[in-house]
Amino acid sequence: MTIFDDQHNQPAWRIQTISDPPGVPSFGYTVGLARYGLHDLHVSSRPSLGCDPGADYVLGHRAMARVLGDVAAAMAADALSLGDDVDVQLDAGLRTAYLEVGAPVPAGWVEALRASSDAVVPLPWALVRCPVGADPGVPPEEVGGWRRRVGDLVARTPRVHGFEDPDPSAFPARDDALGPLAPWVHAVAQALASAPAGAIVSSLVDDVVAQRDPELRTQLRERSRTVGRVQVLEPVERLTGRVVRAISQRRGYRTAVAVARRRPDLPYGCCVEQHLARLVHDAIESCLLVAALDDVVTASERTAIQAAWTPFVPFGVPVGAVV
């Protein structure tokens, strides 16, 4: 990401974000603040201050770019100095990062290998967000509707190797890491895994070109906290990996990726395959997360996440949805 100097219409500084492992943001730093007589800045994707360790939260690439960009602009304008504190609103105000502008450290210590200065200024931060709420559970009068919905999806979904049909009578699940809607989540996972790989990739690529909302998945992760289901995030991630493998091993997936490489309107440059893999992963994770929170998401959230899949997955009519 490059920040431009409005007065001279030329690059002022760049922001470099690093993923380790691939796809998982680790840290980011600015490149080019030396021209302003400043040290480059460095921020980690996880908080190191405060009482919330952020075990289920990382700063994404966009969020790191915003934090670094805001602090860099303030320092370049002499509105912020070493030792100052600053807060940055994240994820449409759902969270706040409270940052300290630290003392410079050698760039090599924090792997800022392309920094324009020999030393960089670390930005340790604390995460402030809403507390974990209580799970409302499934009202007894809605159990029958949920069991019918699970059974209908299972009946209309082709079997996929490595996936088992959930038992509708096991709804609502008790003591399951995927929460009370676990049978529905497993039914959705198999339905996603059975979807035509090529058509799904093409639909997701169209979403990228149309610049659909990229922050909704983050908001859903926060919703899991407010309704007391934060424990579903890790098993949803594992289940996502299984669905990704089922889809990406098909010939249709490889063909769709080859077609996407030739699209001039994709903003991925030479890294189309890696970006599409992350796109498919995130779309599947979002859909499974909506499934785990289906009784507490809004109709607009559900529609936005499921849009690419609805031609192929018979989600049916929501039960007890918040509208």
Report CA-CA distances (Å) from 167 to 146, 150, 156, 187, 289. Answer: 12, 8, 14, 9, 20
In angstroms, the CA 223 to CA 218 distance is 9
Q: Give the phi and the psi of residue 71 in degrees, each rounded to 5.
A: -70, -40
Judge whether residue 319 has pLDDT over 80. Answer: yes
- CA-based nearest residue to 64, from 102, 101, 30: 30
- CA-based nearest residue to 73, from 156, 6, 167, 158: 6
Give the amino acid at 200. I
Where does the pLDDT of residue 122 fall: very low under 50, low under 70, confident under 90, or very high at 90 and above? very high
Q: Report the pLDDT averaged over residues 209-224.
A: 67
- CA-based nearest residue to 75, from 35, 18, 134: 35
Return the pLDDT at 323: 41
CA dihedral 20, 21, 25, 28 (to 10 degrees): 10
pLDDT in tens, 228-281: 998 898 899 899 999 999 998 888 888 887 887 777 766 555 566 777 777 788
Return the pLDDT at 269: 56
Return the structure tokens found at 238. 């594992």
Per the CB < 8 A criterion, the answer to whether 13 and 33 are in contact is yes
* For residue 21, cis peptide bond before it (omega within 30 degrees of 0): yes
Average pLDDT score over the chain: 84
pLDDT in tens, 149-181: 999 999 999 999 999 999 999 999 988 899 999
Q: Report the pLDDT averaged over residues 90-108.
A: 87
Residue burial 27-38, b: 16+ Cβ < 10 Å; e: rest: bbbbbbbeebeb
The region, left, alpha or beta by phi > 0 then psi within -120 to 50, assigned to residue 228 is left
Per the CB < 8 A criterion, the answer to whether 132 and 230 are in contact is yes
pTM: 0.71
